[in-house]
Amino acid sequence: MSVRVCCVCQRPLEEGARSIGRRLYCDEHYAKVTRGRGHLWQSGWALVAALVGFVLLVVGIDSFAQPTLEGRSLVVAGVVLSLVPAVLWLVFFYLQDRLEPEPKRYVAGIFVLGALLAGAVGIPLVNDLFQVREWLYESPLVHLVGGILVIGFIQEFLKYAAVRYTLFDSAEFDERIDGIIYGTAAGLGYATMLNIHYVVSNAGVDLSVGVIRMVITSLAQASFAGIVGYFLAQDKFEGKPVWWMPCGLALAAVLNGLFIFVRDLAMVRGLEFNPWNGLIVATLIALIILAALFWLMRRANQATLAEA
Ligand SMILES: [Zn+2]
């Protein structure tokens, strides 16, 4: 006979303890899991708006002041711009977090881990081992399938690993929304490293085009990581079947690959290059995913509360 313990804190439970799906809870953690965290969602919407505002600001400065940056200063400017999406996210997170505090060093730690995994594993795998750039644009089918099976799966698996093999089993992961918080942190860390790599490997980038690409990457990586985080949280708190997490990863990878395909189609038409189209696609994707996650999370919390 198995011992009955709370799935968050592992404390032994009395007969008749509360449960969600197949998981058992102590009273304290049962109450915590379903917290709705309205402020967090508001800061999600505000962040998407702020990222678009950041693009407009940099493009505005670039076209009016026309700064002439070269060599090292262009690289430094690019790297500084790469960090802005993550800083904006942190600012919004800290602002809402005064109301409902979350252990910030864990959030920052997952962000750094996401960046390290991108730099040490993800980017070398995609660029060097699979040499994606050599073959991805051969045909529309290759573009789509390669985007899903190689880029999508590698990126989403690493963001998953950043959360799954660190905080997932700890008591710091004790609310449904934590999956989305930590997932997004890993995704933004991943995006930040991709952006720094983009700047450094091109020895600096055109500021306007560069900042549009950076925000596209940040919005997309954070959104898909939010989906991974949602599946992680449901797996932890409801005890989903074995196929649940692979399905969640596959969904995120498919959306990631589809996004790459649509973004590239939207940005490049023949000889014409229009990065704004990519930004529109990424912003729409981020808003749709944010709304979907908000709805799913509210539905899960309401179902739990209704059962109680
Ligand atoms: Zn507990």
Q: How far does residue 202's CA lie from ligand 1's centre (Å)? A: 50
Residue 192 has a pLDDT of 97
Residue 104 alpha carbon to ligand 1 centre in Å: 21
Closest CA to 237 of 41, 32, 97: 32
Q: Which of 70, 87, 72, 80 is nearest to 206 (CA)?
A: 70
Distance (Å) from CA 233 to ligand 1 centroid: 15
Measured in angstroms, how far is the CA atom of residue 12 from the centroid of ligand 1? 9
Angle formed by the axes of helices 275-307 and 244-267, nearest 10°: 160
pLDDT of residue 31: 84
Per-residue pLDDT of the chain (308 residues; tens, 9 = 90+): 567 889 888 889 988 888 888 888 888 888 888 776 777 788 889 999 999 999 999 999 999 988 888 888 899 999 999 999 999 988 887 777 666 666 778 889 999 999 999 999 999 999 999 999 999 999 999 999 999 999 999 999 999 999 999 999 988 888 888 899 999 999 999 999 999 999 999 988 899 999 999 999 999 999 999 999 999 999 999 989 999 999 999 999 999 999 999 999 999 877 788 999 999 999 999 999 999 999 998 898 888 888 76
DSSP string computed for 43-87? HHHHHHHHHHHHHHHHHHHHHHH-----HHHHHHHHHHHHHHHHH
Domain locations in the chain as residue ranges = 1-33, 37-307
Sequence-ordered list of residues with C-beta below 8 angstroms from that of 77, at least 6 positions apart, any chain: 69, 204, 207
Ligand 1 centroid from CA 116, angstroms: 32
Rounded to the nearest angstrom, the distance between the alpha carbon of 26 and the centre of ligand 1 is: 4
Q: What is the pTM of this model?
A: 0.93
13 sits in the region (left: phi over 0; alpha: psi -120 to 50; else beta) called beta
At a CB cut-off of 8 Å and minimum separation 6, what does 66 contact? none
State the distance from the centre of ligand 1 to the C-alpha of 46, rounded, in angstroms: 33
What pLDDT score does 102 carry?
66
- Residues 252, 190 contacting (CB under 8 angstroms): no
pLDDT of residue 270: 74
Instruction: Kindly state the tokens that stand for 248.
Output: 């969640």
